[in-house]
Amino acid sequence: MNVNTLEKDIKQFVDAIDVRMDAPLADYTYTKVGGKADVLVFPRSYSEIEKIVAYTKENDVPLTILGNASNVIIRDGGLRGVVIILTKMNEVKVEDNKITAQSGAAIIDVSRVALDASLSGLEFACGIPGSIGGALYMNAGAYGGEVKDVLEQIVVITDTGERKVMTSEELELGYRTSVLQNNNYIAVEATFALEKGDQTAIKAKMDELTFLRESKQPLEYPSCGSVFQRPPGHFAGKLIMDAGLQLTRIGGVEVSGKHAGFMVNVDNGTASDYINLIKHVQKTVKEKFDVSLHREVRIIGDSKE
C-alpha cells in the first residue's frame, strides 16, 4: 500500500478539504489517546462512502469507521489505510412521531430534536456522547433505556458498497451488541419511532438524568465511559471499588476515584497505559472475586514499535 497513491486516489472521490494525511487520532478520541491515521476522511454523502468502500475493497486497503470515537481506544501506532469519521453527515429530520438521523449526528443532538418536537423515547440518550452510528453498533443505553426500544430501521452500506435497509429486528440488538459488530456494514441512517409526549415532562426527565450523570461520572477528564460490561449478577464499578483499585494509576491513566467503572486520562496518558491498566484491573478482580470483566470499549489499531 503506497500512502501517496492512496491520498491521490481518495481525493478523486472526496473534496481535498475533507481529507487529512498522517492525522493524529488523539485529536478526535474522547480518551485523547491514539496514534495517526494514514488517511483520514470526513465524507459528506452516501455516494462518497460507497466509492471509498468499493476502492478500499478492490485495492485491499484497510478501512475503519468512526463516529464520535467515545467508545474506542486506538493503539499508539494508529490505523493503517483509510479511516472514515462520519461526523459531517449529521442531518436530522422529524416527520410526525418519527425522527430520521444520519449516522454522524450526535445522539445527544437527536435527543434534543426529540425534546423540541415533544417526542418521548430518547430521554435516556440525552447524555451519551456517541454518534447515531456508534449507538447502533453498541446498542447504546442508559438508565433503563436503550436504542433497541425506539429504533425502527436503519440504512447501511454493505461491504460490497450496496445500500440497503435493515429493520431493528434484523440488527439483533442485545446488551451492548448488534449484528453490525459481526459484519463490515456501515450504518448511514437511522429512523426512530417515538411517542407524542409532554415537553415539560420530557425535559424534566432529561434534567434528572443529566444531574445523575454529572454527579456520578468524572466528566471533567478524558475517558471512554464505562470500560467494562456489566458482569451477570454484579456491577463492574462495585467490584473494582471493592478490590481497592480506585486511583490505581499506570502512566497517565487512572481508575477514577469518582466512578470506579471509568478510567480517566489525567496526565498525558497513552493507549498503552489504558490497555495495561485494563489488564491489571481484569486480573485483580478475577483473583479477588473470580469474576471475569469483559470490555465494553473497543481496542483497535497498531501497537507502537
Verify binding: residue 130, ligand FAD, rule CB under 6 A.
Answer: yes
Verify binding: residue 70, ligand FAD, rule CB under 6 A.
Answer: yes
Question: Nearest distance from residue 178's CB to ligand FAD, in Å?
Answer: 9
Judged by CB under 6 A, which of 13, 42, 55, 137 binds ligand FAD?
137
| Binding footprint of ligand FAD, residue count (CB under 6 A) | 32
Q: Which residue is nearest to ligand FAD (CB)?
A: 134
Residue 226 annotated among the catalytic residues of the structure:
yes
> Which residues inside 239-298 make contact with ligand FAD, applying CB under 6 A?
298
Verify binding: residue 135, ligand FAD, rule CB under 6 A.
Answer: yes
Question: Nearest distance from residue 206's CB to ligand FAD, in Å?
Answer: 13
Residue 296 annotated among the catalytic residues of the structure:
yes
- Residue of 70, 223, 226, 272 with catalytic role: 226
Verify binding: residue 134, ligand FAD, rule CB under 6 A.
Answer: yes
Judged by CB under 6 A, which of 142, 179, 241, 291 binds ligand FAD?
142
3-state secondary structure the chain: CCHHHHHHHHHHHCCHHHEEEEEEHHHCCCCCCCCEEEEEECCCCHHHHHHHHHHHHHCCCCEEEECCCCCEEECCCEEEEEEEECCCCCCEEEECCEEEEECCCEHHHHHHHHHHCCEECCHHHCCCCCEHHHHHHHCCEECCEEHHHHEEEEEEECCCCCEEEEECHHHCCECCECHHHCCCCEEEEEEEECEECCHHHHHHHHHHHHHHHHHHCCCCCCCCCECECCCCCCCHHHHHHHCCCCCCEECCEEECCCCCCEEEECCCCCHHHHHHHHHHHHHHHHHHHCCCCCECCEEECECCC
- Name the one range near ligand FAD by CB under 6 A: 59-67, 108-116, 190-198, 228-236: 59-67
Verify binding: residue 131, ligand FAD, rule CB under 6 A.
Answer: yes
Interaction site with ligand FAD (CB under 6 A): 30, 65-72, 86, 103, 128-131, 133-135, 137-138, 140-142, 180, 186-187, 217, 219, 223-225, 298
Q: Enumerate the active-site residues.
A: 176, 226, 296
